[in-house]
Amino acid sequence: MSGKSGLDCDGSVLCGRPVLAGKISEVAEVAGYLWQKGWAERNGGNITVNITDIVDDGIRSMCPVSEVKSIGAVLPNLKGCYFFCKGTNRRMRDLAGRPMENGSIIRITDDCAGYEIVADKPVLPTSELPSHLSVHNYLIGKGSPYKASLHTHPIELVALTHSGKFLEKDVATKLLWSMIPETKAFCPRGLGMVPYMLPGSVALADATIKAIDDDYDVVMWEKHGVFAVDNDIMAAFDQVDVLNKAAQIYEAGRNMGFEPEGMSDAEMSELTKAFNLPK
């Protein structure tokens, strides 16, 4: 692999593991997009990906490079699981260039209450790890195929949450769907809303899980950012990207001096039926 990719495998767990290397490369690619879009100031945002299904016996037998760290909760569905996590206080732009220096692979301990870092270096995961892992625990418990979680700060979507009317259930969803057909087609479950809570708190994790349980893939944290889940990290990014484009179209219309009309209920209903969308 070239040095340009940031995935040179000398001494890395990625050596001889092309599937795992590809998954980490995808994380790095998304991290770069987040930085380029201005959604990841300083160390803002987090990525956590469940890689258990591509972990081999060699990784399972690896000695940890850290002591056991407490998760702060017992998450029984995560027994035997492995995750790649962005490091705490690490920048997305650095994760994009050097993912194994700015992130790490962790495994959950047998008591499901802690984790240890196994590769490559003892880079502590995001401070919001308990929230991310709680969501993954929930997803596994409900039999979801989703393996990736993304938290980022899309400017226009965050701006919407500074107006109380958009915090009401599905008000923002209907608005965003109406801006351009692709939004409803590619984000058919819409945008869930969670009122402001302390970042990284158990309360925020619980509220996020409740919103996902209400059938949303992307959840808005008031005045903070979004939390998205999907099959892989690129799909999670795509959903946020599409929703934020709709918010940009709305705000562009407002900046031009008019209230965007949006598609009518009849037009959106026609779209739902034509593409067999869930909502």
Give the catalytic positions in this structure. Answer: 128
The CB density around residue 98, as the number of other CB atoms within 10 Å, is 15
CA geometry: angle 7, 135, 35, nearest 5 deg: 40
DSSP three-state, residue 17 = coil
Both tokens of 202, joined, read 């158990």
For 149, phi and psi rounded to 5 degrees? -130, 140
Contact status, residue 177 vs residue 260, Cβ threshold 8 Å = no
CA 23 to chain centre: 14
Both tokens of 212, joined, read 């996902």
The CB density around residue 15, as the number of other CB atoms within 10 Å, is 13
Q: Beginning with the edge strand found earlier in the chain, give each strand of the sheet holding 46-50 in spatial order.
A: 69-70, 114-119, 103-108, 82-86, 46-50, 148-152, 225-230, 218-221, 191-194
Contact status, residue 218 vs residue 228, Cβ threshold 8 Å = yes
DSSP three-state, residue 93 = helix
Both tokens of 72, joined, read 């702060």
Name every residue whose Cβ is closer than 8 Å to that of residue 225 and which is 6 or more positions away in sequence: 44, 45, 151, 152, 153, 154, 157, 158
